[in-house]
């Protein structure tokens, strides 16, 4: 898995067993993008000579505009007239920039990024190309990490001000790929609360297209990801290029098709409402982006992203192990609970085989609804006379783990914290403080605010001897302003907030290495790779309706594996849609993520409790396969009336297949469902029905589905290879 440099031609070649990425220095100065795709031995064609009438010897910015060439680091203010990765304003207000090659280094592994989460670098090599703008002293370091075990290249950019005067950074993206043609379809993920991450695809056209957010979080409205699909590419076939950003704040993922029908794909921090003052001698690090090339369609792209998450992103002790089955009291009680109600729910949960009891919102301050107390992370002794300590002791005495909900980034105007520190929230002096859900956002760019959060949350977790944390965030930022930043730095607030969030999370998570942390943001409003570096799972959506979850979890799986998706069985009629679905269907869909319950078990009839007990035994027996197996989408809930997916063990000896039908129709013949990823030369037994099938038969012909009876019914097959 080498990264090589051929000095004579100025060519860098990054390759493993499956992919190649080739860069060439034009005239020894400008890194051009030459090739990214299937592994090749070499690329002999000279991009410069083919796309321009000039050679290295005759190349000149006066004669050959970079505007017509595919580049690795296009910048604004020079010979490229398109939007590039970097826009800098100098002290005199101008934006001229001419970055030229100054050197490179190839190193083993992968360096950490200052202040930012990133993938680890086991079994990797990193190429760092240094570019310099001589007049200003601006230096740019382009980092490319190539992995041996996955077909992913990690990219980022570091900007260093080696000059004598400060400059303003108006745009600093993480990755750019210039494709020499635009015959692609663009896929992005969009949605809203309770219907997150639905895939939308459209052909590229001249101009700009893509997705972005300026909400201060990666958001429910979109996702820091995009993919380009070659003609005729689909779930299982064709070339797909995927881009994902390891960042939790405002971002852009954009493709510009120019007058030559070249497609420039870029991803990084949202330039809107962003400006960063870079003092002399200082540096700025962009977040890390991950680039996937897959020749086997969207499914192949997803499996590369899943491998990245499992092997190089998540690092908790729970990252690759079984997760406890939990019950959360939120939809069972909302804010209306006392200690005895919680204990009765916990006792019932223990009886049916649940491992973890999670206390959700309402345990602190005087919080009987969502109007107060955020920031006052002290036990409500009216609801919990013995506080978290006594409740936790009683939960643990049952043989269960104890979990807790917190929302550390927020503050209620009706709180002791706000009355003591009204300037700690994000606000603009002299203007109305805009509330959402009766709360404001704490200014995490401030060290005193961060220290307070770490102190009080750490104390609560220790007081409660907590085994699990649900870290929520229920509103985005408005009225951007910080009392701690000078006027010229106010547009740094968005990025400084995210850096502050990572600092707080890093300190708290590292203090509790044995605690399972789950992120949440009004449902799936901050489901991104940045937070996955701290927390191995995230609440996928507040919508727990089984059919809607088929869609939400399918869209999410384009980038994220099932082990990251918080998924629960909830009550019917469902609290978000009013839909009634069978218990087995709700459970089968929740098995597509980290399994739990979000309902009042004490109100269920005995026959349902018995069914839940059996389901829990099933989940525990299959959980390693469900969470960490190789994942395949078989039927899309976005294009038809059914959905299907499966997970296959690494040695292809075991698989779990799930099928869900939305609306039943009369007089319809039973269907066959084609499977993927099995060994065609082995025979598999369905552990439930006893049926035996060849792996080739299951993949090329299909497994027979039962004739459906009723709406929103599910079928599941647990396949094991015969010896």
CA–CA separation, 702 vs 31, rounded Å? 49
**438 Rama class: left (phi>0) / alpha (psi -120 to 50) / beta:** left
Rg (the chain; Cα; Å)? 27
CA–CA separation, 265 vs 257, rounded Å? 9
CA–CA separation, 131 vs 101, rounded Å? 4
CA–CA separation, 116 vs 114, rounded Å? 6
Give the count of beta carbons closer than 10 Å to the beta carbon of residue 41: 8
Q: Say which DSSP state 425 is in.
A: B
Both tokens of residue 529?
């790779």
Are 414 and 468 spatial neighbours (Cβ–Cβ below 8 Å)?
A: no
The Cα diameter of the chain in Å comes to 84
H or E, element range at 143: strand 138-147
Residue-wise DSSP of 552-609? HHHHHTTTS-GGGEEEEEE-SS-TTT-----HHHHHHHHTTSEEEEES-GGGS-HHHH
Are 260 and 82 spatial neighbours (Cβ–Cβ below 8 Å)?
A: no
Q: What is the 3-state secondary structure (H, E, C) of 294-318?
A: ECEHHHHHHHHHHHHHHHHHCCCCC
CA–CA separation, 718 vs 252, rounded Å? 41
Known catalytic membership, residue 711: no
Known catalytic membership, residue 542: yes
Give the count of beta carbons closer than 10 Å to the beta carbon of residue 9: 14
CA–CA separation, 578 vs 587, rounded Å? 17
Beta bridge partners of 146: 125, 153
CA–CA separation, 500 vs 301, rounded Å? 32
Rounded to 10°, the helix 387-397/447-463 angle is: 40
Both tokens of residue 23?
């860069």
CA-based nearest residue to 557, from 627, 657, 641: 627
Q: Say which DSSP state 180 is in.
A: S
Of the residues 133, 355, 379, 542, only one is catalytic, namely 542
Both tokens of residue 650?
């690494």
CA-based nearest residue to 353, from 649, 587, 689: 587
Both tokens of residue 448?
């005193």
Both tokens of residue 630?
């190789």
CA–CA separation, 150 vs 243, rounded Å? 15
Are 476 and 416 spatial neighbours (Cβ–Cβ below 8 Å)?
A: no
Of the residues 151, 472, 528, 642, only one is catalytic, namely 472
Q: Say which DSSP state 68 is in.
A: G
Are 372 and 380 spatial neighbours (Cβ–Cβ below 8 Å)?
A: no
H or E, element range at 517: strand 516-519
Active site residues: 472, 542
């Amino acid at each position: 898995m080498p990264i090589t440099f051929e000095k004579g031609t100025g060519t860098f070649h990054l390759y493993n067993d499956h992919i190649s990425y080739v860069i060439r220095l034009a005239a020894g100065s400008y890194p051009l993008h030459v090739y990214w795709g299937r592994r090749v031995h070499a690329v002999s064609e000279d991009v410069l000579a083919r796309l321009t009438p000039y050679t290295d010897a005759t190349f000149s910015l006066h004669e050959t505009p970079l505007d017509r060439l595919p580049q690795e680091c296009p910048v604004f203010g020079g010979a490229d007239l398109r939007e590039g990765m970097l826009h800098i304003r100098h002290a005199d207000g101008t934006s001229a920039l001419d970055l030229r090659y100054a050197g490179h280094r190839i190193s083993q592994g992968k360096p950490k990024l200052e202040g930012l989460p990133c993938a680890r670098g086991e079994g990797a090599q990193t190429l760092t190309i240094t570019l310099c703008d001589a007049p200003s002293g601006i230096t740019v370091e382009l980092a490319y990490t190539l992995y041996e075990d996955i077909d992913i290249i990690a990219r980022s950019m570091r900007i260093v001000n080696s000059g004598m005067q400060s400059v303003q950074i108006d745009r600093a993206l993480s990755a750019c790929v210039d494709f020499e043609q635009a015959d692609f379809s663009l896929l992005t993920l969009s949605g809203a609360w309770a219907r997150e991450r639905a895939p939308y695809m459209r052909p590229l056209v001249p101009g700009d297209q893509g997705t972005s957010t300026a909400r201060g979080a990666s958001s429910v409205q979109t996702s820091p990801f995009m993919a380009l699909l070659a003609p005729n590419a689909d779930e299982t076939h064709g070339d797909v290029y995927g881009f994902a950003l390891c960042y939790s704040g405002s971002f852009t993922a954009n493709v510009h098709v120019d007058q030559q029908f070249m497609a420039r794909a870029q991803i990084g921090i949202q330039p809107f409402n962003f400006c960063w003052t870079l003092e002399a001698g200082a540096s700025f690090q962009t977040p890390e982006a991950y680039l996937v090339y897959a020749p086997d369609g969207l499914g192949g792209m997803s499996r590369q992203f899943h491998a990245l998450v499992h092997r190089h992103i998540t690092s908790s002790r729970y990252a690759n192990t079984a997760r406890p089955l939990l019950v959360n009291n939120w939809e069972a009680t909302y804010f209306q609970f006392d200690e005895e109600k919680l204990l009765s729910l916990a006792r019932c949960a223990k009886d049916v085989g649940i491992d973890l009891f999670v206390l959700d919102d309402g345990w602190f301050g005087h919080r009987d609804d969502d109007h107060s107390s955020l920031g006052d992370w002290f036990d409500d002794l009216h609801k919990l006379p013995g506080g978290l300590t006594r409740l936790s002791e009683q939960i643990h005495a049952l043989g269960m783990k104890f979990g807790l909900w917190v929302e550390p980034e927020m503050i209620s105007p009706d709180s002791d914290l706000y009355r003591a520190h009204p300037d700690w929230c994000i606000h603009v002096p002299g203007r109305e403080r805009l509330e959402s859900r009766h709360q404001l956002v704490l200014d995490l760019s401030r060290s005193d605010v961060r220290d307070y959060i770490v102190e009080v949350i750490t104390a609560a977790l220790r007081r409660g001897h907590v085994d699990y944390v649900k870290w929520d965030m229920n509103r985005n930022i408005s009225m951007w302003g910080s009392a701690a930043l000078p006027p010229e730095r106010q547009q740094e607030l968005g990025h400084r907030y995210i850096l502050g969030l990572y600092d707080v999370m890093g300190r708290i998570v590292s203090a509790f290495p044995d605690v399972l942390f789950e992120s949440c943001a009004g449902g799936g409003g901050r489901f991104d790779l940045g937070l996955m570096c701290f927390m191995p799972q995230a609440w996928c959506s507040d919508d727990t309706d089984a059919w809607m979850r088929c869609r939400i979890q399918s869209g999410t799986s384009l980038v994220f594996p099932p082990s990251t998706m918080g998924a629960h069985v909830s009550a019917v009629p469902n609290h978000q849609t009013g839909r009634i679905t069978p218990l087995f269907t709700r459970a089968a869909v929740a098995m597509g993520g980290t399994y739990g319950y979000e309902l009042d078990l004490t109100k269920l009839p005995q026959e349902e409790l018995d069914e839940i007990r059996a389901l829990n035994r099933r989940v525990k027996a299959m959980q390693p396969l469900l969470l960490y197996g190789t994942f395949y989408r078989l039927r899309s809930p976005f294009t038809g009336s059914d959905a299907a997916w499966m997970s296959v063990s690494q040695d292809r000896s075991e698989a779990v297949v799930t099928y869900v039908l939305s609306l039943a129709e009369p007089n319809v013949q039973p269907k066959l469902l084609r499977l993927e990823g099995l060994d065609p030369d082995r025979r598999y037994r369905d552990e439930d029905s006893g049926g035996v099938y060849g792996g080739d038969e299951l993949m090329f012909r299909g497994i027979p589905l039962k004739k459906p009876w009723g709406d929103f019914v599910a079928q599941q097959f647990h396949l094991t290879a015969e010896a």
